[in-house]
Every structure is written in structure tokens, then in C-alpha cells.
Amino acid sequence: MTTEVPSRTRIPVHPDAAEFLGRDHQLFINGEWTTPRDGGMSVSLDPGSGEQIATFAVGGKQDAHRAVAAAVAAFEPDAPWRVMSAASRARLLFALADLMEEHQEELAHIEALDSGKPLAVARDFDVAYAIRHVRYFAGWTNKIEGATIPVDVPDMMCRTERTPVGVAALIVPWNYPILIACWKLAPALAAGCTTVLKPAEQTSLSVLRLAELISDAGFPPGVVNILPGSGSELGPVLVEHPEVEKISFTGSTRVGEEIARRAATGIKRVTLELGGKSANIIFADANLDHAIEGAAAAIFSNTGQMCSAGSRLYVERPILDTVLARLKEHTKTIVVGHQLDEDTQMGPLISKSQMTTVCNYLDRAASDGARTVVGGNPHTDHDGIFLEPTVLTDVNDDDAIVREEVFGPVLVVLPFDELDEVARRANDSEYGLAAGIWTRDIAKANRLSNLLRVGSVYINTYGQSDAAAPFGGFKKSGYGRDMGRQNLEYFLETRTVWTDLRL
């Protein structure tokens, strides 16, 4: 394993990204950059080096009310956004996608430095897929159609119209800042909503740069408002505000439960994409070259900081020892390093507090009798927040390391004997976000898929994504979906119009 973490000062930062990071950044409200009224300034730290990379404003409660007021004004019937044609909305979204593509390398550097994800991943996945999402939903703006209904009432015409929900509060996590922002922003804008987008305070920079591009693309003031700040302070204001009609949240199950409770009093439309403890299942007849590589990517991508991480690996008992040996060998080849190093495959954890959380889980697993196959150690001799990719075995289904979301590069490996057994054990979780199945027997794979209570099943692959494919979970992994036409529907209401033809 490569453990040397190079200093950022020895790795060139894209010049446009460096210029952006060198400026102070204010709140983006009503099309203008404005200082907070009751917020303040925050500092962004590079998790790969511990160095300060930028300062930016964070909003307070008064700023949240200002942002909502701007979105409300932009949603008035005679506002430019409301009278704009669907084709014109599409042109703005396509213009934004073009600007994002023009600045893709810059956005990737900002995202990598702020979040710790490897530069190649930030460029080729996060930013690239964010652009795809904006373009995909731009194409939907003039395809939002109602229907004429042949009702059983004489001389009566009945039709439906689709209309935007209204002001949408979009609350984005720190692990995929610009990508999940676009998951939520693009369908909201395609539907005709106005928005207040709150990025995570830990990773606000790429979304603030996105706000500049939104302004350059020509969106009317108030249509998109960007409000970095504390979730505990701003979240309740946005969720409970009487003029916010829709909330789209991605984050922890604990916070999602609180949002659902608060939103219920206002009868608000809510979609929640929450936590996971996803099972990845390898049968003895699987192509082990692909299965080992896929199982490692499912947990070590983004340093394990993803809700759909394949953190529980169930292996058919006859191949358990082989899989453990090959996983150990593969894991040792993963290059851990600073995220701007093009050779890096796994970067740092997002923060020292997240490192503490993961290490506490490892300590508890050890006390419960888990055996470390590989990894498990932090790189304490570096300024950055680095943990070795870790594989554990000799664990039980009831152990905390098996049941709870660790959100770090920690894989637990458990044996199984029968298909029905592994289906039951995989489903024995409060979560239901994703699952993987590795086998050459497609009939068996589809039988197991039908038994799994999860929102996404990956057969002989893991973590595939496309703007057109819905993503979300069952059980405590949330409700509603991001991506795909289904996501667009959550930003629309249906109006039924009756017309008496005799008058």
C-alpha cells in the first residue's frame, strides 16, 4: 500500500480553482452575493493536508428567511421565471450544463480539495455526472404533459395539468456535494420550482462555484438561492417555513426522521434519501476476478463515505477462504494518498470527527471478537485524515459493525450457505438502500433480487448510476427517489380541470 501523502503545495492546483479559492465567498440570495445578517464566516480545510483552502459565509436564521422570501418572490405568477416558456427553461439548463463542462477541470479541483475525493473521481464521476443530470432534466422541461380524461359525465371535458410544487428546499450532504446538488436542483428547475439549496457546511465550495455559473447562465434572481450553514440551525427554518412546499433531503437517517416529523405539521412534500448498510453477496459460481474488484470498489470508493456502500459482504462458504485471501491481496494494492495526486485511488476521510467515529467502530468490533484481515490503522504520521482500507471477518450478524452505518472504508465479511438464508440475513436490517449479487447463474440472481427489500440491486456490478435511473431506498433508507423521471414527479402537482361544454 502506498502510504506517503504528498503535500498539496507540491501538487499544482488548477489556476481557475486557485483564483476561486483565494476569494472570500458570500451567500447567494436573489441573484446577488450578500453578507450574512446573523451568520458569519467559516473556514474550509483540506482533509488531505489539514491546510486552510478557503473562507466562506454561513447563513443564520434571518438569512434563511431572506432566501425563502427571494424564492417566493421568484415564484409569483407574473415573475420572469413563471411566465418563461418550458423551452426557455430548457435553454437555461443547457447553458448551465455547457458552462459546467467548460469549467469541469476547475470544478473537479475545487471538489477534490474540499471533500477529499480523488481528483480523477471528482472529474470523471462527480462533475461529469452532475453535468449529465442537468442535461437530462433540461430535456424534460417541454415534455411535462397533462392528459384529457374521457369521464362518464355528459357534455363535460376533464383534463389534468402539471404544475410546479412551489418553493423547494434542497438539503445536500458532504459526501457528493456538487453531484447531489444537481440531482435535486436540475429536476426542481425543470419542473418550474424555485429553490433554496443548502450545501453541507463541510463542503460548500463547489456549490458556491456552481452558483456563479448559474448566474452566468442567466437564471432570473431568486430562482436559485445558495445558503451554506449549519444544518441544525438552518434546517428547521427551511423545513418548517410556511412558504416552503417541498423538501428534498439526502443525509443520515437520524436527521431524516427529524425532518419528516417537522415537515408533517405543515403537510409538506418530502423526499428522503438516507442511510444504508448494504449487502454484497458472492456465490461460489461467480467470476471472482470481477467479484473481488467489485466488492472492493463497493466499499472503498469515496473512502467508504457513501450511503450505498457495500459494507456487508456475504460469501458462499466453500469460497470464503479464497475470497478473504484475494481481498487482502487486492486491498493492499489500493493507493492511499492526497486527493490531487493523480495516482491516488482512495483519499482521506472528511474530518477528524469522522475518523474518530470510524475508529470507535473498529475498537468495538475488536472487543466483539472481529479479526482484521487487512488494514485498520490510521496514518497518524500525516497531517491529513487517512485510514487504511480495512477488511474484517469473524463477526456476527448482531454486531454493531455489521448492523450500523460506519461511513468509512470498513468491510465486514460473513459466510453463508443457502440462497434463502442469505436473503433473510441481507434483509435483516433497518436499512434497504442497495444490494449486490455476484453469480454466473442469472436465474438465481433474479430469484434473489426479487427477495431483497432494497431500492437498487446490482447484478455482477455495483453502484452503477445514470440520470435516467431512479435511486432511493426502502425502510429507514428513506422514501421517494432521486434521479430519473420519478424524481421530476416529486416537484410537480396535478391539477384537474373540469369544463362544462354546454355553457
Instruction: Please confirm, yes or no, whether 418 is among the known catalytic residues.
Output: no
Please list the alpha-helical segments (H only) found in 123-252.
128-138, 177-191, 205-217, 231-240
Interacting residues of 479 by C-beta distance below 8 A, sequence separation 6+: 270, 271, 272, 472, 473
Residue 218, exposed/middle/buried by CB under 10 A (0-12, 13-18, 19+)?
exposed
Tally of CB atoms within 10 A around 31? 18
Are 60 and 38 spatial neighbours (Cβ–Cβ below 8 Å)? yes
Are 228 and 196 spatial neighbours (Cβ–Cβ below 8 Å)? no
Which one is catalytic: 111, 245, 273, 388?
273
Report angle CA 318, 319, 320 to the nearest 5 degrees. 100
Where in 378-440 does DSSP place strands (E)?
A: 390-393, 410-416, 431-432, 434-438
Are 256 and 178 spatial neighbours (Cβ–Cβ below 8 Å)? no
Closest by Cα among 176, 354, 363 to 251:
176
Closest by Cα among 294, 254, 269 to 405:
254
Query: Over 240-279, what HEC string results?
Result: HCCCCCEEEEECCHHHHHHHHHHHHCCCCEEEEECCCCCE
Interacting residues of 256 by C-beta distance below 8 A, sequence separation 6+: 249, 272, 274, 478
Single-letter code of the amino acid located at 323: V
Q: Which residues are catalytic?
A: 273
